[in-house]
Amino acid sequence: MSDFHFLTPGQPAVFKDQYVTKVTECIKAYQNGTKADFGIIGLPASKSSISPSFAADAPKTIRNALNAYSTYSGQKNKDYKGTSILDFGDVLIHPTNLEETTERLYLSVKEMLQTNSCNKYIILGGDHGVSYPSIRAFQEYYGRVGVIQWDAHHDVRNLEDGGRTNGTPFRSLLEGGFLNGEDLTQIGIRDFANAREYHLYVKNKEVTVYTMDDVDRIGIVPIIQKEIERLSQKVDLIYLSVDMDVVDQAFAPGCPAIGPGGLTSRELLSSITAAADHPKVKAMDIVEIDPSKDIRDITSRLAAHTMLRFMYT
């Protein structure tokens, strides 16, 4: 019997509605031999960001934001409280050696996949540089990988001017042989955010590119449906890479490279819903959130809602 009426030592003092299940209540820490529908891993690396960034703090704030959401979908009249989620924790990055950090990220994602614990995975960055080691690990484990990249930028900067950064992940993947140009689709590329050299580079690599003008003209959901179908005919796995700066700065103020003219939050969420239901879609990363630049966790909450659209299909 407890010594207290209203104290719960070691537990947070939070209100609990008996009829509401929060998403965080469905998340369990990974233990050897456990199985689940989804796995979460944090890749808290952002020291190679071109813009000053504390994106390494984002995995924590995104996880915290999940507590704002319940497992019930009123639109579908379905409760997802039976969906199981394993959290593999965050990778311990090297304090100074960026190449060592990249290797640790790659090895950790690879080890997670080798547990064969989950059907699908969510990778929380960090800056967009984490997509290079993550997608490499998925390619080596599953085979030919297709990627749909939500982004204002091509992220194929040259390596001579600064080595591997958050602006180089897809150049690293393409030139490393881990990704074919025809298997990469970029959506939301914005004007005045890239160089002509990089526009020509992705065209030469046969990357499929949809600008924001294309999104306005065609619609985000038809684009996703077309590209999922195209990629699914060629690849063994489809990986979604969501750079949150694809979203307009009004809806995602916590990105290091904010800008006007991007997707609305509803366009992002509807496009994730359109992609996530396909059986070949096995993974999604969410990157480029700097909690120190955010306002009331607007961007982290949008990222958390993006996770729900990926999991609760």
Do residues 190 and 152 make contact, with C-beta atoms less than 8 angstroms apart? yes
Q: Is 295 left (phi over 0), alpha (psi -120 to 50) or beta?
A: beta
Q: Rounded distance, CA 203 to CA 89, Å?
A: 38
Q: Rounded distance, CA 263 to CA 247, Å?
A: 4
* Cβ neighbour number for residue 91 with a 10 Å cutoff: 23
Question: How deeply is 272 buried, as exposed, middle or buried, from its count of CB atoms within 10 A (0-12, 13-18, 19+)?
Answer: buried
Q: Which two tokens stand for residue 244?
A: 């949150």
Collapse the DSSP code of 96 into the 3-class scheme (helix H, G, I; strand E, B; otherwise coil) and give the result: coil
Do residues 302 and 247 make contact, with C-beta atoms less than 8 angstroms apart? yes
Q: Which two tokens stand for residue 22?
A: 């929060």
DSSP secondary structure code for residue 193 in this structure: S
7 phi and psi, to 5 degrees?
A: -110, 140
**Which residues are paired to 287 by β-bridges?**
243
- pTM over 0.85, yes/no: yes
274 phi and psi, to 5 degrees?
A: -65, -30
Nearest C-alpha neighbor of 88 from the set 44, 48, 138, 139: 44
pLDDT recorded at residue 20: 97
Residues in the chain: 313
pLDDT recorded at residue 8: 85
Nearest C-alpha neighbor of 180 from the set 119, 108, 122, 236: 236
Predicted confidence pLDDT, tens digits, the chain (313 residues): 678 988 989 988 888 899 999 999 999 999 999 999 999 999 999 999 998 899 999 999 999 999 999 999 999 999 999 999 999 999 999 999 999 999 999 999 999 999 999 999 999 999 999 999 999 999 999 999 999 999 999 999 999 998 899 999 999 999 999 999 999 999 999 999 999 999 999 999 999 999 999 999 999 999 999 999 999 999 999 999 999 999 999 999 999 999 999 999 999 999 999 999 999 999 999 999 999 999 999 999 999 999 999 999 9
Buried b (16+ CB within 10 A) or exposed e, 115-143: eebbebbbbbbbbbbbbbbbbbbbbebbe
pLDDT recorded at residue 51: 87
Residue 3: partners with Cβ closer than 8 Å, 6 or more residues away: none
pLDDT recorded at residue 52: 87
**Which residues are paired to 101 by β-bridges?**
none
pLDDT recorded at residue 1: 65
Residue 182: partners with Cβ closer than 8 Å, 6 or more residues away: 206, 207, 208, 234
Q: Which two tokens stand for residue 43?
A: 């890749």
Q: Rounded distance, CA 279 to CA 120, Å?
A: 10
pLDDT recorded at residue 14: 86
Q: Is 33 left (phi over 0), alpha (psi -120 to 50) or beta?
A: left
